[in-house]
Every structure is written in structure tokens, then in C-alpha cells.
């Protein structure tokens, strides 16, 4: 009989709470062994049996040797990624946009290569990533990713300036250019863009279009790719988590799927 895999989570926000619930219900071979929170964070209740709360990454690594999942934002990847990988523990990233930083990306890749640990990218709110990644080997010619969100989703971003002069009630293009530029200008909306760039043609050669649309209440992601393999066209209109309107439901369920997949009898 296999021993249960011991997994750790960085962060205890809306994503981590969903992950814990889904894994607890659907996986017999995985234990969420520990969750890393900031020192001085409020006490956490209703944790799965055997799950510990720690405030040092060294303790998380010791308790969760089979994999650690980042669920806490770009800063968490910067702060803890190198330490997790250097320890030889698999590291899964939700906040993929941080990897647009070429220096950080190269550093994490180097740490993983030296220790033998694996970096996993959580696909999150977009579909079609596996097909795009496979098409890359056939000779991709173009990849275009369009993000459409309601105006409130662009608050606190450079897009707010565009919306002040936009025609009332009409969609407004906030950005049209490389994925690299989109990630730099809109880091809070960058995770899916970065995922598409990493899976396909890279940050410089992937086209990103960001649109504010007052007629939608969903977060819409449209992926188009062209290559020797043929044509790829995928669109998904996702709902947000009730506890965090800025986070897609699929982002949380994608993390849970990744954890359950690695401990199941079949990979699909």
C-alpha cells in the first residue's frame, strides 16, 4: 500500500481553502500536511486532520516533502521558491505572472536543475494549454490571447485611466501588444497571459489583448493559435470565487486537480 503524499500550501486565502476542501473530499492518497502563513497571522480553524500551521518555510519543507503549492501571490514565489527548490521539493506555481521576470525565471530553473526538483505551472483560468504546448513542437506561427473582464476588474491598474475617457457602455481595448508588455503593465491580471506565453511562443512573441467590457460579468479568456498542426481556438467565460472576486474559480480547482492527479491511479 502506498504511503499518502504529504503536500504543503503557501498561503491560506480563498484558493487554499477551496483546495483543502476538494482534496479532503476527493483524494484518499494525499494529506495537506501543512500551510504556511505570515508570522502573526490570525488563528486558523477547521483545518483537515493532521494539517499544521507554520510561519517558517523551513518547517513547511520538513512537513511536506512531496510537494509545495504556492497560493499566495507573486511575492510568495519570489520569497520562497528558491528555498523550496534548493531543498529538492517539487514547487507548483499559481501566480505564473511572476515568471515574466527573466532573471527570476532563470534562477528558479537553475535551482530546480541542481536539486532535481520539478517546477509545475498551474494552468488556472484558461483551457487549451496542453494542446498549445503540444502544438509548440509542430511549429507554431502565432499565438493570440484576449482577456475580457468587467470594468471593476481593472481597478488599480493603468486601465483605469483609459476607462475615464471611454465611451459609456462600450468595450474598451486597454492594451494590445506583446505578452511581455502586458505582464509588466498589468501584473494583477498577468497569470493566465504568462501561462500562455510559457506554453507557446514566449513572452515577446505572444500577442496579448486586454479589454474592459461593461456588458460582461465573467472573466473571458480567448486563445487562438496557428501552426503546422492546424488552428486552435478556445474560449472560456469563468466565474470568480465568492470569497475573492478577483480570483477565478478554475484557478482554485486547477490546483486541487493537480494535487489529486499526482496521487491517483490515472493521469487525465
- By the 10 Å C-beta count (0-12 exposed, 13-18 middle, 19+ buried), 259 is classed as buried
Residue with cell string 520538513: 62
Closest Cα partner for 18 from 188, 244, 268?
244
- Catalytic-residue membership of 221: yes
Instruction: Return the number of other C-beta atoms located less than 10 Å from residue 254's C-beta.
Output: 19
Residue 35 has phi, psi (to 5 degrees) of -130, 135
Kindly give the pairing relationship between strand 140-149 and strand 172-178: unpaired
Continuous segment of H or E residues that includes residue 179? helix 179-185
Contact, 204 vs 139, CB < 8 A?
no
Which member of 3, 103, 145, 221 is catalytic? Answer: 221
Kindly report the three-state secondary structure assignment for every residue of 92-154: EECCHHHHHCHHHHHHHHHHHHHHCCCEEECCCCCCCHHHHHHHHHHHEEEEEEEEEECHHHH
Residues contacting 7, CB < 8 A, separation 6+: 23, 30, 31, 32, 33, 64, 66, 67, 68, 69, 259
Report whether 76 contacts 15 (CB < 8 A).
no
- Catalytically active residues are 221
Amino acid at each position: 500500500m502506498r504511503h499518502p503524499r504529504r503536500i504543503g500550501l503557501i498561503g491560506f486565502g480563498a484558493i487554499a481553502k477551496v483546495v483543502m476542501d476538494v482534496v479532503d473530499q476527493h483524494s484518499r492518497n494525499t494529506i495537506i500536511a501543512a500551510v504556511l502563513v505570515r508570522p502573526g497571522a490570525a488563528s486558523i480553524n477547521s483545518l483537515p486532520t493532521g494539517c499544521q500551521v507554520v510561519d517558517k518555510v523551513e518547517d513547511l519543507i520538513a512537513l511536506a516533502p512531496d510537494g509545495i503549492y504556492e497560493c499566495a501571490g507573486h511575492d510568495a514565489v519570489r520569497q520562497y521558491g528558491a528555498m523550496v527548490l534548493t531543498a529538492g521539493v517539487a514547487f507548483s506555481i499559481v501566480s505564473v505572472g511572476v515568471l515574466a521576470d527573466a532573471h527570476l525565471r532563470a534562477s528558479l530553473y537553475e535551482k530546480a536543475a541542481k536539486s532535481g526538483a520539478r517546477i509545475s505551472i498551474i494552468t488556472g483560468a484558461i483551457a487549451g494549454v496542453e494542446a498549445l504546448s503540444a502544438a509548440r513542437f509542430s511549429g507554431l506561427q502565432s499565438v493570440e490571447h484576449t482577456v475580457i473582464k468587467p470594468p471593476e476588474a481593472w481597478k488599480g491598474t493603468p486601465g483605469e485611466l483609459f476607462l475615464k475617457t471611454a465611451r459609456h457602455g462600450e468595450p474598451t481595448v486597454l492594451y494590445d501588444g506583446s505578452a511581455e508588455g502586458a505582464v509588466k503593465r498589468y501584473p494583477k491580471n498577468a497569470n493566465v497571459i504568462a501561462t500562455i506565453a510559457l506554453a507557446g511562443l514566449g513572452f515577446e512573441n505572444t500577442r496579448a489583448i486586454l479589454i474592459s467590457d461593461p456588458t460582461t460579468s465573467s472573466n473571458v479568456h480567448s486563445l487562438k493559435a496557428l501552426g503546422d498542426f492546424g488552428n486552435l481556438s478556445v474560449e472560456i467565460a469563468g466565474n470568480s470565487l465568492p470569497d475573492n472576486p478577483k480570483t477565478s474559480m478554475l484557478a482554485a480547482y486547477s490546483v486541487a486537480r493537480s494535487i489529486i492527479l499526482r496521487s491517483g491511479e490515472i493521469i487525465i
